[in-house]
Amino acid sequence: MIIKKVTIENFLCYYGIKEFEFSKGLNIILGENGEGKTKFFDAIEWLLNTSYSSNEITLISQKALTEVTGRESFQVSVKLTCEHDDEIVYITRQFRVSKLKDESVETTKSILEGVKESRTGERDIVDGKQWLDIVFPPEIRRYSMFKGESSLNILKEDASLSNLINLFSDAKNYDKYASKIEFLRVEAEREVSENTRINTKKKAEFESLEKQIILAQQKKSQIEEQLDRLEQNTNTTIELVKEAEKFVVNATALENINKRIDILNERKQKNDAKIEENYTTSLLDDFWILMHFEPIHNEFSRKIQESEIAKRQLQQEFDISKGETKGRRILQAKLMNNSSPLPIGVPNKAVMVEMLKDEICKVCNREAKEGTEAYQYMENNLKQFLTSLEPEKNIEEDEVIFKNNYLKSLVNMSTNHDTSILKFRSVIPEIQDKFDFNKSREEDSVRFQEQIDKEKLERTKILGDSSLGEDRLLDVIKNYNQWQTDIINANRSKVTVEYQYKEASESLSSKIELRDKIGEQSANNYLIKKRDLLKDIEKIFKETKERKFDEFLKKLEDKSNEILAKINVDAFLGKIIFIKKRSTTNHTGINVELVQSDGTPFISPNQSLETSMHIAVLFAISNLAAGKKLEEYPLIFDAPTSSFGESKTSTFLNLLHNNTNQKILLLKDFVAKNDDNKLTIKKEFDLVKRNKAFWVRLDRPFDNGKLSTINTLVSEI
């Protein structure tokens, strides 16, 4: 988008219709303070601020209001003529003013109107706000208009630079897909959950996990908010510290002493981190509780050994007794006269029953009358055969002396302890070593703190050498030391909260993993594959966006330093660095700092250097965006170089001229009074490269006590 013309009508000091026709490149508006330069900026700001709710009466040209007669009306307006996608768009914000008979003033409510002109010259009325947002998006406007040097420091706002970089880097191309993919992934997870809840046999466990996941997500979010607050408070305190250091006369001494304090604090923190006083954990996890275990183990082993010996003796005696019983059974089984009986079942059952019935032994063919010894023998043989058909009783089982083998488990336990006893022997010296180590580190920590306190005392003396009044100086010293302490405490708290965040993240991940495992066993296979695919795509998009973001950040840093070197020719430069802040939350913050060649921070840079840094970054972003052939937007600055001086301003303006993006600068430089006490433009301005230049000044003569005599004239130079 290119601003081709700005038309101001009866707005503040601009009486009647005043026009500024701008070029695409560098446009300069010169004007002394109070001549209408800043009111031009206010007019553009009023047009662009669609949420403006101020009293319109305060914006009316008093000259126009004085000259209008009763029952007449006139228009107050600011009109923007811009080129967008080869079309001309007119955006006008205006309201009407009427003067009543009683000299009272009445205004209509301001409205925003739009007209679009095609390539063929056809004009259509369009929605003014909608087209203003199209040609000059709100997210771009806040990075395009800057009033004064202090307004250039937009980079200190949390996430502002990240948002700006996302607008112009390749990373932005992934945003429109990332949100959609995230939505699809969430929907896919919901489908898997619903399908699992219907089909799984572990419905109760699944639903319990989902509730736990919600609670874990809430806890993680709470910790994220806590981290954000810590980060914001720390950054605010750091800014206060930097502001306080501007009042220090001996900045070099303060810088050196702060460096020593930082080194000592870092060493102390590293030393303190080595101290491990979580003895409760060591008592169990490191087996300290078993430091006197060996005597108990020896007594336990002795008793087990004695019991094992006693058991073997009893078993031996039992085995002997059991052997004697078995022998008696064998003897009783023998027939009379020491003869060996026939095998059981020979002859078979039917033959033996038949022989008993016939009272004759058909084996030897002898008579065996009932009641005789031969009959009794055959009858006993039949009984033995019938008995053999019955299940054999386990006589041995009834006569076991030890039914269980608990002693063996105790023996195994004792053996296992034997292999661990060497480790338990090292517990006592290990405990002593830990206590000695912690004591030594605590002594080191005390020494570090003494050195830090000594350095702080020296810093207090340096701060005392200040040009501030006594009361103000005491406040600075008190606040400065307290802020330093607050920063240290905040960093310590940050370490703790970051650890809590890590634990919360791991807990959430484990619960999600358990839930997903149930889903994989129960949910529809298609839904699972769909969910996993969307997860992978979402991860790829996030990682790619982060990589593109980092690549652009490196290019931006290099380009910023290149522009900084051109702005500060033959002056101290320093180096601009971009530091990514933690990324635990959804946004990635960035700190922009100016450091020396060795990487140490540059304490309290002067206003000119700070302004150079801010402008270098803004122009580097604009330059890189133009190189990518993206949509260009104008940059509008009101007095951005007040601290430069005309020589440096000339160098700066010539640098801007080489940048093809449209820029509109309002400056008080190069305006002076001649011998007749009249305003004039210095000859040095002829050497300044520009595409267009304007001079705004009040129409003279005027009554410096009456606003109704004020009218700003506009002339092109």
Look up the CATH number of the domain holding residue 685.
Answer: 3.40.50.300
**195: pLDDT strictly greater than 50:** yes
* Cα separation, 695 vs 247, whole angstroms: 38
**Pick from 437, 465, 493: which residue ends a domain?**
465
3-state secondary structure of 605: coil
Res 384 pLDDT > 80: no
- Hey, how many other C-beta atoms are within 10 angstroms of the C-beta on 318? 14
Note whether residue 284 is domain-resident: yes
Domain residues for the domain of 315 are: 248-465
Q: Do 274 and 417 reside in the same domain of the chain?
A: yes
DSSP for residue 152? G
Residues 269 and 396 in one domain: yes
pLDDT value, residue 396: 47
Indicate the residue among 465, 489, 523 that finishes a domain. 465
The reply to whether 516 falls in a domain is no
Highest mean pLDDT among 115-119, 386-390, 656-660 belongs to: 115-119
| Bridge partners for 112 per DSSP | 93
The domain boundary residue, chosen from 465, 496, 529: 465
The answer to whether residue 277 is domain-embedded is: yes
Residue among 658, 660, 659, 669 at smallest CA distance from 693: 669
Has residue 72 been placed in a domain?
A: yes
What is the per-residue pLDDT for 52? 62
Average pLDDT in the chain: 79
In this prediction, residue 604 carries a pLDDT of 60
pLDDT digits (tens, 9 = 90+) for 202-257: 778 878 888 999 999 999 989 988 888 888 788 788 777 776 666 644 444 666 77
- My answer on whether 257 and 111 are in the same domain is no
Residue 484 within a domain: no
Report the C-alpha gap between 238 and 699 in whole angstroms: 48
Is the per-residue pLDDT at 345 higher than 80? Answer: no
Q: CB of 46 within 8 A of CB of 147?
A: no
Axis crossing angle, helix 646-658 with helix 607-627, rounded to the nearest 10: 10
**324 in a domain, yes or no?**
yes
Does any domain span residue 668? yes
Residue 79: pLDDT over 60: yes
Q: Is it the case that residue 166 has pLDDT exceeding 60? A: yes
Q: Is the pLDDT of residue 278 over 90?
A: no
pLDDT at residue 212, as a whole number: 92
User: So what's the pLDDT on residue 337?
Assistant: 43
Question: Over 80: is that where the pLDDT of 600 sits?
Answer: no
Asked which of 9-23, 401-415, 447-461 is least confident by mean pLDDT, the reply is 401-415
Please tell me whether residues 127 and 12 are part of one structural domain: yes
Domain annotation covers residue 268: yes
State pTM to two decimals.
0.52
562 or 695: which leads in pLDDT? 695
Neighbours of 490 (CB within 10 A): 18
Same domain membership, residue 258 and residue 140: no
When pLDDT is averaged across residues 541-562 and rounded to a whole number, the result is: 84
- Count: domains in the chain: 2
